Amino acid sequence: MLAGFSILLSTCNPAGRRASAYDVSDLKIEQKDNGYLVELVNSRDIAGIEAFITQSNWLVITVADASVDVGKVKMLKPFGIIQKIEVDEFATAVQISLKLSEKTGPVEIVRDPHSSNVYVSIFTKDLSRIKR
């Protein structure tokens, strides 16, 4: 006769953080020497992230096929060249728009090789002029 037993499986979170109900759980903005760094804190890899600057000087970040903690993003306070933050939800995407007070250089998307996070760099200064 076999004795009954059960095994409880739980997810291990080495960073000690609680898992989020959202694919994009947070948005962080930091001012750097050469511009700004926008970090999308993700709970999984998200392929559909695009960013560009419009002619009317909005940085538009589109996150496709993923859930975003819109409430948390809407609580962010604009600072520096970021005058306004807007979030628009669509059926298959969320668009995060940052109104910039000055013209900037190129925008670059970088994926963190050690996590699922994605960084959007906004260059506001000529990189060749920064002293190293």
Model pLDDT for residues 3-52, shown as the tens digit of each residue:
443 333 333 344 444 467 899 999 999 999 999 999 999 999 999 999 99
Instruction: Kindly write down the DSSP assignment for every residue of 1-32, as one continuous string.
Output: -PPP---------TT-PPPPSSSEEEEEEEEE
Determine the Cα–Cα distance for residues 7 and 97; give it in Å rounded to an integer. Answer: 46
Q: How far is Cα 113 from Cα 87, in angstroms, rounded to an integer?
A: 27
Cα 42 to Cα 54, 77, 80, 115, 119, distances in angstroms: 25, 20, 25, 8, 11
118-123 and 35-42 strand pairing: antiparallel
Q: Is the pLDDT of residue 132 over 90?
A: no
pLDDT tens per residue, range 77-103 = 999 999 999 999 999 999 999 999 999
CA 109, chain centre distance (Å)? 10
Cα–Cα distances in angstroms (integers) from residue 21 to residues 17, 70, 89, 103, in the given order: 12, 12, 17, 36
In the predicted model, is pLDDT for residue 106 greater than 90? no
Enumerate the domain spans of the chain: 48-113
